[in-house]
Amino acid sequence: MIETRHQSRALALLRDEGAMSRVELGERLELPRARITSEVARLSELGLVEAAGPSPSRGGRRSTLVRLSNDLRLLGVDVGATSVGVAVTDPSCEVLAHTVEDCDVRDGPIPVLGRITELAEKITGAAPGRLIAAGIGLPGPVSFAEGMPVAPPIMPGWDRFPVRDHLARIWGCPVAVDNDVNAMALGERHAGVARSLDELIFVKVGTGIGCGIVLGGSVYRGVAGTAGDIGHIRLDEYGPPCACGEVGCLEAYFGGSALARDALNLARSRRSAFLADVLAERGTVDARDVGVAAAAGDTSAVTLIREGGRRLGQVVASLVSFINPGIVVIGGGVAQLGHQLLAEVRSVVYRRSLPLATGNLPIVLSELGDTAGVIGAAWSAADRAFTVNT
Phi, psi of 364 (to 5 degrees): -135, 160
Measured distance CA(174)–CA(386) in Å, rounded: 10
Q: Is 38 in the site for a second copy (CB under 8 A)?
A: no
Site string for a second copy, 136-155 (x = CB under 8 A): -----x---------x----
Stretch of residues binding a second copy (CB under 8 A), selected from 107-115, 126-134, 161-169, 231-239: 231-239
Shorter beta-carbon distance to a second copy: residue 58 or 351? 351
Choosing from 40, 155, 213, 382, the residue that interacts with a second copy (CB under 8 A) is 213
In the sheet where 49-54 sits, what is the strand order? 20-21, 64-68, 49-54
Shorter beta-carbon distance to a second copy: residue 91 or 248? 248
Q: Is 330 in the site for a second copy (CB under 8 A)?
A: no
Q: Is 226 in the site for a second copy (CB under 8 A)?
A: yes
Stretch of residues binding a second copy (CB under 8 A), selected from 68-76, 219-227, 252-260, 368-376: 219-227
Q: Residues with Cβ < 8 Å from 349, sequence gap 6 or more? A: 313, 316, 317, 320, 328, 358, 361, 363
Shorter beta-carbon distance to a second copy: residue 279 or 349? 349
Q: Is 390 in the site for a second copy (CB under 8 A)?
A: no
Choosing from 57, 223, 280, 297, the residue that interacts with a second copy (CB under 8 A) is 223
Amino acid 329 reads: V
Q: Residues with Cβ < 8 Å from 103, sequence gap 6 or more? A: 79, 82, 83, 84, 112, 115
* Shortest distance, position 230 Cβ to a second copy, whole Å: 6
Contact status, residue 301 vs residue 308, Cβ threshold 8 Å: no
Choosing from 47, 54, 114, 222, the residue that interacts with a second copy (CB under 8 A) is 222
Measured distance CA(245)–CA(250) in Å, rounded: 13
Choosing from 53, 60, 283, 359, the residue that interacts with a second copy (CB under 8 A) is 359
DSSP 155: -
Shortest CA distance to 207 belongs to which of 98, 100, 296, 105?
105
Maximum alpha-carbon separation in the chain: 80
Choosing from 55, 265, 303, 324, the residue that interacts with a second copy (CB under 8 A) is 324
Binding positions for a second copy, 183-212, rule CB under 8 A: 199, 211
Binding positions for a second copy, 264-323, rule CB under 8 A: 315, 317-319, 321-323
Q: Is 34 in the site for a second copy (CB under 8 A)?
A: no
Angle at 81 between CA 80 and CA 85, to 5 degrees: 25
Return the bridge partners of 130, or none. 72
Shortest CA distance to 236 belongs to which of 307, 177, 185?
307
Q: Which residues bind a second copy (CB under 8 A)?
A: 5, 30, 141, 151, 199, 211, 213, 215, 220-230, 232-234, 237, 315, 317-319, 321-326, 351-354, 356-357, 359-360
